[in-house]
Chains A and B, each alone.
Chain A
């Protein structure tokens, strides 16, 4: 069974530039999550999708971050414009349904904003 795929693995941009991350969850997983993990901290949930609907985006900085999961499968997370404090690893995870199931994580995208 293929795991959660993410791309790119690494990205370096200048502040005020835009960046997009892509995630393809495990086949059949209805729930998809985007997390931000700053060095030395645990993951922080940015947004949770159930199929193509948003379940929770309360911690997503909506003035600069956006995410979509149009067909209920893969998803993109965009930052526009990026700030220095956005430097982090962006993790995508998926689960069969909701948070009471195990979440499976992709390798993450390490973003550096200069």
Chain B
């Protein structure tokens, strides 16, 4: 079963703009991770946020977590063409034998 659901399914913005993607999940989690997948390349880990954290930064990435709403957002600031990829959230749910459960992803296109 799918735990995480990303929103929107697809997003197209101009280079330099900010991109925001959201992830909602269903059950209590230990942590939530965001991954990026470029066409032709494997999944790459971007950032992990633990259930007791509310916000985390890594370079141009900002992740927030709201456990009361069971949602997370990924913000990419000052987007670049190289950010074109699919972005997935994966949750380490407390009742899933600690499997990572993945959403279907948000496809982000950065227009030059």
Contact = CB atoms under 8 A, between A and B. Distances in A.
Do A and B assemble together? yes
Given A42-B2, A42-B88, A100-B98, A106 B42 contact: yes
Contacts of B42: 4, 91, 105-108
B62 to A, nearest CB: 19
A80 B41 CA distance: 27
Contacts, number: 49
B42 to A, nearest CB: 4
B102 A100 contact: no
A60 to B, nearest CB: 13
Contacts of B43: 43, 91, 93, 103, 105
A48 B2 contact: no
Interface in B22-37: 30-31, 33
A17 interface: no
A103 to B, nearest CB: 7
A45 interface: yes
B75 interface: no
A61 interface: no
Nearest to A107: B42
Interface of A: 4, 40-45, 48, 55-56, 91, 93, 98-100, 102-108
27 contacts: A40-B104, A41-B104, A42-B2, A42-B4, A42-B88, A42-B102, A42-B104, A43-B88, A44-B102, A45-B100, A48-B99, A55-B97, A56-B97, A56-B99, A91-B43, A93-B43, A99-B92, A99-B98, A100-B30, A102-B33, A102-B48, A103-B43, A103-B45, A105-B43, A106-B42, A107-B41, A108-B42
